[in-house]
Every structure is written in C-alpha cells, then in structure tokens.
C-alpha cells in the first residue's frame, strides 16, 4: 500500500451492535440531516467535513476491517467539503479544507456565503465576477460531458476531475482498484473487470451557483455528483476532529 494513503482509519475505534456503529468522538462523527445545518454543526463541534479525498482514504483503509464497518462506508453516500462553482456550463472545484484540515481562504469566503440568510432564503446565485475571483480547478462543459458516463478503471485513473478530487494519484489508483474489484465481487461477477463502467462524474448544467461534491455508494457505482444541494435534508457528512 502506498505510504501516501493516509492512515485515517488507524484512529477509528468502534463497536458493532446489529450494524449500529459508534465512532470515537475524538476523531470521527457522522452528521446527517439538512446540509447547511450539518456543516455549521460540524464547525461548531470543532471538526471539519471530510473531503472526497479523505472519504476515499477511509474506504481504502477499512477494506480489510470488520465487514459491517467496511460495508457502512462502501454502502452509503457521503457529502464532502469540496465545493463547486457553476458558471454558464463550466465549473470550478474549490477546496474549502486543505490537506492539513485547515479552512482555506477561498473556503472561508464560500462558508461565509452559505452561512448568510440570503443564501438560505434564495439559494444565492454567484455573480460572474465572484466566479472569476475565486481560484479553483476549472473544467469545461465539454470535458464534463465526457466524464458523465460510466468510466473504465483505466479511464478513472486518468480523469482530470477525479484527479483533482482525489488530490493524489496514488490515492486515486488504489481506490479505483478497490471499488472496481469490490463491485465485481458483489454485483458484476459475470462481467470482466475491464468491461465495468463505474465512477462517473454526475454532471448537470446549473445556473451560476454553489454546490458541493457528493460521492455515492458502491451499488450506485461510487459516482461523484458535482451538483449536491445545500437545501437537502438528506445530507451525510463525516466530521473529522481538528
């Protein structure tokens, strides 16, 4: 296993009682409910919401653990701290949390916006100038459409959106291998591995607004949605202590 796969799972303590999981509150906590409320609660608890990269790491780290723990992470979707700005079909992916668990300057700006009453009331639209001012990895609508169908395992490892979300090529490579192999064992036994098409980038053309990235469960191909709503009442975050 690559030394770049951070051992977040090492800090996870748990017990299982009929698949009800309890986490060490010093490191991990699951937050479910209204998206905005849960984000604010995570920060109020002095935690940060996990990024897509960290969620991938956790899934990888737990693959050889107790089956109930492993399946909990593989069989549930999770929202993330990675935000998306939409502008005329193009997007920017913005890290609100850096690799050390710190809130980024651009993340602070976005968090201030989503915490505003205006956002809660009107699902605030982002002005074009704001889109231009905030730095982030930008993708064209044309490229996004190419990634919006199921991808081969080889294609996932070279996909530019997945590379940005994984933040590290080693993480992406090893987690893609994990997801494709687990899917084949459980759902695609008769399908050759190289014929599987999973982990698409679920793209929908939005007006200029803020969304967040959500990674889906194994049965739904571990797709990543870049159109997660801040108005959802069904969010699920992993809060990691600072």
Residue 65 has pLDDT above 80, yes or no: no
Residue 5 in domain:
no
- Give the model confidence (pLDDT) of 181-230 as tens digits: 999 999 998 999 999 999 999 987 766 588 899 999 999 999 999 988 88
Residues 6+ apart with CB under 8 A from 167: 51, 53, 99
Domain span at 107: 21-188+195-241
**Is 149 a member of any domain?**
yes
Would residue 154 count as lying in a domain?
yes
How high does pLDDT run on average in the chain?
83
**Spatial separation of the C-alpha atoms in residues 46 and 242, rounded to whole Å:** 6
Q: Is the pLDDT reported for residue 135 higher than 60?
A: yes
Total domain count for the chain? 1
**Between 6 and 100, whose confidence is greater?**
100
Q: Which of 11-25, 60-74, 164-178 has the highest mean pLDDT?
A: 164-178
| 205 occurs within a structural domain | yes
- Residue range 88-133, pLDDT digits in tens: 889 999 999 998 889 999 888 888 877 765 565 545 555 667 788 8
30 domain-assigned? yes
Asked if the structure places residue 3 within a domain, the reply is no
What CA–CA distances, in Å, run from 134 to 65, 72, 107, 224? 40, 35, 9, 22
């Amino acid at each position: 296993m690559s030394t770049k796969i951070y051992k977040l799972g090492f800090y996870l303590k748990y017990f299982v009682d009929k698949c009800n999981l309890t986490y060490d509150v010093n490191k991990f906590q699951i937050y479910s409910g209204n998206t905005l409320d849960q984000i604010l609660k995570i920060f109020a608890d002095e935690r940060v919401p996990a990024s897509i990269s960290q969620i991938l790491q956790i899934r990888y780290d737990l693959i050889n653990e107790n089956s109930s723990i492993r399946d909990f992470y593989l069989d549930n979707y999770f929202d993330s701290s990675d935000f998306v700005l939409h502008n005329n079909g193009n997007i920017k992916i913005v890290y609100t949390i850096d690799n050390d668990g710190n809130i980024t300057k651009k993340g602070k700006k976005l968090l201030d916006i989503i915490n505003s009453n205006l956002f809660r009331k009107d699902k605030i639209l982002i002005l074009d100038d704001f889109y231009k001012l905030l730095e982030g990895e930008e993708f064209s609508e044309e490229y996004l459409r190419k990634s919006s169908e199921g991808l081969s395992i080889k294609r996932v490892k070279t996909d530019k959106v997945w590379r940005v979300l994984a933040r590290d090529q080693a993480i992406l490579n090893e987690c893609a291998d994990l997801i494709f192999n687990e899917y084949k064992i459980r759902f695609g036994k008769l399908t050759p591995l190289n014929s599987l098409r999973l982990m698409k980038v679920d793209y929908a053309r939005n007006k200029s607004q803020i969304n967040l990235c959500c990674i889906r469960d194994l049965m739904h191909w571990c797709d990543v949605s870049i159109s997660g709503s801040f108005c959802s009442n069904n969010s699920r975050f992993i809060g990691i202590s600072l």
